[in-house]
Amino acid sequence: MEKVNIKDKLNLITDYWKPVVVGELNNQQVRLVKVKGEFVMHHHDDEDELFFVLKGMLKIDYGDKITEINEGEFVIIPKGVKHRPFADTETHLLLFEPASTLNTGNVRNELTHDSPQKI
């Protein structure tokens, strides 16, 4: 039962698109990630994802529309929905998702992280 300082944890993150685990509860993980540029279009067969923008602005491309998520806002991507996150400037996110969630979903590439580091 220790408190977590999100700002301190974010200061430890140096790579974009590489989520780290900062908490776990009920088979769910709280992850932090810094993003900039484009990610890969993907979906998750079995997991919903929550993207909460702590700093900056995240855009989600759904193929037929783009949604902007600003600081203090979040979006939940339902399982099975194809999406591609991207950010024009460095953006800090808090993710809340099942521990089994692979960051690239149904795609495997150089951005895939099978076992996010715990910090």
DSSP result, 38-99 = E---B--SS--EEEEEEESEEEEE-SS-EEEEETT-EEEE-TT--BEEEEEEEEEEEEEEET
Residue 103 has pLDDT above 90, yes or no: no
Of 89, 94, 87, 90, the residue nearest 72 (C-alpha): 94
Taken as a whole, the chain contains a residue count of: 119
CB 30 within 8 A of CB 23: yes
Helix H or strand E segment including 20: strand 20-25
pLDDT digit string (tens) for 18-54?
Answer: 999 999 999 999 999 999 999 999 999 999 999 999 9
Domain segments of the chain as ranges: 6-99
For the cut 70, the answer to whether the pLDDT of residue 109 exceeds it is no
% of the chain at pLDDT higher than 70: 96
What is the reported pLDDT for 54? 98
pTM of the model: 0.91
Mean pLDDT of 8-23: 96
Per-residue pLDDT for 117 more than 90?
no
Q: Residue 100: pLDDT band by 50, 70, 90 thresholds?
A: confident
Q: Which fold has domain 6-99?
A: Jelly Rolls (2.60.120)
Residue type, 97: E
Across the chain, mean pLDDT equals 92
- 107 has pLDDT over 80: no
